[in-house]
Amino acid sequence: MKAFIVDQYKKVPLRLGETPEPGVGDRDVLVEVRAAGINPLDSKIRDGEFKLILPYRPPFVLGHDVAGTVMQVGAAVRRFKPGDEVYARPRDGRIGAFAERIAIDEADVALKPANLSMEEAAAVPLVALTAWQALVEKAKLKAGQKVLIHAGSGGVGAFAIQIAKHRGATVATTTSTANVDLVKQLGADVVVDYKTEEFDKILSGYDVVLNSLDGKTLEKSLAVLKPGGLLISISGPPDVAFARSQNLGWPVRLVLRLLSAGIRRKARGRGIDYSFLFMRADGEQLGRITSLIEDGAVSVVVDKTFPFGRLNEAMAYVDTGRAKGKVVVTVKPEGQ
């Protein structure tokens, strides 16, 4: 089958080539890929930035977001059948959405929202699960609390704003001048235009901050939080709790301890908890997100859609950091 392949860890275009058909285990669902979402994580893995914690061995196929049709199910699968329209974020170690077909553990899969196209559905799993696990699972965000979500017009930010509003929180976000109207439409109560304003000089007394930007923004976010607040970062640095959860060896744990020592020390000095989040695949949570989408509580923002053959162009566009919401490639168009 055709797939885009990482031949070596390097910032070079992926190679479009032939790769073996995926094997289908007893608990697996074989999916014909109709559309795949592009994430900054794909570029980071391609470039080798995650070799320490995600040691994929080239050649391998990238891609963390998939929407498609079930072709075959393993002997132990009970929740899905051939012909079902599904979507998923395949678990680490089993990624590969940039291909014509992929085998995914049943536990990572959910039925596609009935009101979304395949392209729209492919824009959902990774970013929606990240927002859910940060705000619902980790922060346990409640009605009446205040949350700052950085980069509100981005893939994670667009979902995080809507999930936070659905839970009754007051939401502030940072964005550029061009995207102020978009984040307001998504539900942001307070919008800070980072081109003209400094968020840490405007906001205070917040319960939660969700950071997806650089280390400077991470440190400045401490000033926004009240004592007892929670600073969650999905862009690093990874902490020791993450290393333990991934069963990483002691040398890697030591490295991560050192990398996160500065921000953890500064957070403690202000009575704030710091937590790194690296989202995980979870079909049950994705099913709950499906319900929010079908009920109209959460909408999907797709910036651009590219044909499969232009995947490297799509990744380059995501790398610019200018995408609103998500970028998607169509692997098999409707009607084919």
Same domain, residue pair 187 and 95: no
Residue among 208, 212, 206 nearest 194 (CA) = 212
Which residue range forms the structural domain that includes residue 318? 2-124+300-330
Same domain, residue pair 269 and 153: yes
Same domain, residue pair 161 and 265: yes
Termini Cα distance of the chain? 16
Same domain, residue pair 119 and 138: no
Least confident window among 158-162, 179-183, 247-251:
247-251
User: Pairing mode, if any, of strands 28-38 and 85-88?
Assistant: unpaired
Whether 239 maps to a domain, the answer reads yes
Same domain, residue pair 132 and 272: yes
* Tally of structural domains, the chain: 2
Q: List pLDDT tens digits, range 279-318.
A: 999 999 999 999 999 999 999 999 999 999 999 999 999 9
| Model pTM above 0.85 | yes
Same domain, residue pair 79 and 148: no
Residue among 185, 31, 23, 22 nearest 112 (CA) = 31
Query: Per the structure block, which two tokens stand in for 106?
Result: 């049943």
pLDDT value at residue 259:
86
Kindly provide the b/e burial profile for residues 316-328, where b requires at least 16 CB atoms within 10 angstroms of the residue's own CB.
ebbbeeebbbbbb
H or E stretch covering 65:
strand 65-73
pLDDT value at residue 332:
86
Same domain, residue pair 200 and 104: no
Q: Please state, in angstroms and rounded to a whole number, the distance separating the CA atoms of residues 24 and 8.
A: 26
| Mean pLDDT along residues 269-277 | 97
Q: Please state, in angstroms and rounded to a whole number, the distance separating the CA atoms of residues 120 and 11.
A: 28
Q: List pLDDT tens digits, range 12-22.
A: 999 999 999 99
CATH number for 106: 3.90.180.10
Whether 291 maps to a domain, the answer reads no
Indicate whether 221 pLDDT > 90.
yes
Same domain, residue pair 117 and 134: no
Whether 283 maps to a domain, the answer reads no
Same domain, residue pair 253 and 208: yes
Same domain, residue pair 119 and 146: no
Q: CB count, 10 Å around CB of 2? A: 15
| Mean pLDDT along residues 162-172 | 98
Task: State the angle between helix axes of 125-132 and 283-294 in degrees (0 to 180), rounded to the nearest 10.
Answer: 100
Whether 46 maps to a domain, the answer reads yes
Indicate whether 225 pLDDT > 80.
yes
CATH number for 230: 3.40.50.720
Query: Per the structure block, which two tokens stand in for 308?
Result: 């499969």
pLDDT value at residue 242:
86
Residues 160 and 232: beta-carbon distance below 8 Å: no
